[in-house]
Amino acid sequence: MLRLRLAVEEARANDLASALEATGGVHQIVSMSREPTGAGVVLEADLLPAVADQVLEVIRDRAISDDSYLITRQEVIAPTPIQAPIAGGSEFAWIEVMGEARANARPLGRYLALMAVAAVLAATGVITDNPILIVGAMAVSPDLLPICAACVGFVAGRVRLARRALVTLLLGILLTWAVAAFVAWGLQVLGILTADFQVDEGGLHGLAHIDYSTVLVPLAAGVAAMLSFETRAASAVGVAISVTTIPASALFGVSLGLGEVSVSWEAAGVLGINVALLLLSGSMTLVFQTFLARRRAQPA
C-alpha cells in the first residue's frame, strides 16, 4: 500500500480530493488543519500502486510543488483482505521503479568497488577451477542494478537514463576485465602460475561456449532481475543474474592477461549475447507489467 501526504491551500482542498477519488484507487482521504501559522490543510490518503502515476499527474496538473507532497510505501501487517481497497501492497508502481532506476544508474564508488572485488574472486575461481569462488563473485557483483535501470530507461523512453545506466554497466564490465587480467598476469609474473598454464584446460572453459543455455539462462534471468528490482530484493536474486555476466567477464580478463586471445574473444561473445538478452527480457517484463497495471487502473 502507498500513502500520500499533501499540503494544499484550503480553497483547493475539496477539488483536489475529488480529483484523487476519481482515479478509482485513492481511499480514506483525511483532511487535517495545518499549524495556526500556516494557511491551508494537509490531506492524507491510501492509494493503490496501480494508480500512483495518475495521482502524480493530478498533483502536477494543479501545479503543486514537489516539496508539498510525499508518497511513501507502507507495509500492511493486519488485516490482509484478499478483496479490499488496500490489498495488493506489493503491486507494480511505476514512479517507485523510476526512482530506483535513477538511483542505480550512476557509477557510484561502492558499485565499482564491489565489481572489483567480484573480479578478484571470479578470476581466482577461473584460475583454480573453483566454482565456489565463482558463485561468491556472483553474490558480490551489483551489475543487476544498472541492467535493470537501463531496462526502465528503454521502456520509459528516457534516453539519458538508459545511456547513463549502460555506461555504468560498461564501466563495471571493463573494470572486471582489467582486474581479472591484472590478477592473472601478476600471478604468472610472480611464478605462481607456470608459463605453460592454459586457462582453457579447466572445467570452467565451458563458460566461453555458445549453446542453447546462452540464450535460455539470460532470458529467464532478465525476468527475475526486473521482478527483484521492483521489490527491492536485488541482493537475493543477484546471483541468478550475475551468472550470465561475471563468469564470462572474468574468463575474458584472465585469458587476456595470460595471452590466450582466442579464449578471450569467445568469452566476450558469450558476455555480449547474455547482456543483450538480459536487457531484452527485463524490458519485456516491464512492458508486460505496465500493461497489467494500466488494466487494473481502468474502471470496471
The alpha carbon of residue 128 and the mean position of all alpha carbons in its chain are separated, in whole angstroms, by 31
Find the DSSP H helices in 190-233. 213-230
Give just the sign of the alpha carbon dihedral 98, 100, 104, 109: positive
Specify the 3-state DSSP secondary structure of 26: strand
CA atoms of 10 and 87, how far apart (whole Å): 31
Do 179 and 123 form a contact (C-beta atoms < 8 A)?
yes
Which of 250, 256, 265, 269 lies closest to 133 in space, CA to CA?
250
Mean pLDDT (whole number) for 61-74: 82
Q: Answer yes or no: is 287 within a domain.
A: yes
Strand 2-8's sheet: what is its strand order?
26-33, 41-47, 2-8, 69-73
Same domain for 78 and 100: no
Same domain for 172 and 81: no
Same domain for 241 and 121: yes
What's the pTM value of the predicted model, to 2 decimals? 0.76
Q: For residue 151, what is the DSSP state?
A: H
CB atoms within 10 A of CB 193: 18
The CATH number of residue 85's host domain is 3.30.70.2030
**Domain C-terminal end among 91, 113, 147:** 91
Q: Answer yes or no: is 160 within a domain.
A: yes
Same domain for 236 and 196: yes
Q: Answer yes or no: is 281 within a domain.
A: yes
Q: Answer yes or no: is 103 within a domain.
A: yes
The domain of 236 spans 96-295
Q: Answer yes or no: is 112 within a domain.
A: yes
Give just the sign of the alpha carbon dihedral 246, 251, 256, 257: positive
Same domain for 121 and 42: no
Higher pLDDT, residue 128 or 23: 128
pLDDT band of 236, cuts 50, 70, 90: low
Mean pLDDT (whole number) for 114-126: 93
When mean pLDDT is compared across 16-20, 41-45, 186-190, 194-198, the lowest value belongs to: 194-198
Do 152 and 161 form a contact (C-beta atoms < 8 A)?
yes
Residues 6 or more apart in contact with residue 14 via CB below 8 angstroms: none
Higher pLDDT, residue 274 or 211: 274
Same domain for 218 and 147: yes
Q: Answer yes or no: is 300 within a domain.
A: no
Same domain for 50 and 140: no
Same domain for 189 and 170: yes
CA atoms of 223 and 278, how far apart (whole Å): 8
Q: In the prediction, which pLDDT does 198 show? A: 79
The total number of structural domains in the chain stands at: 2
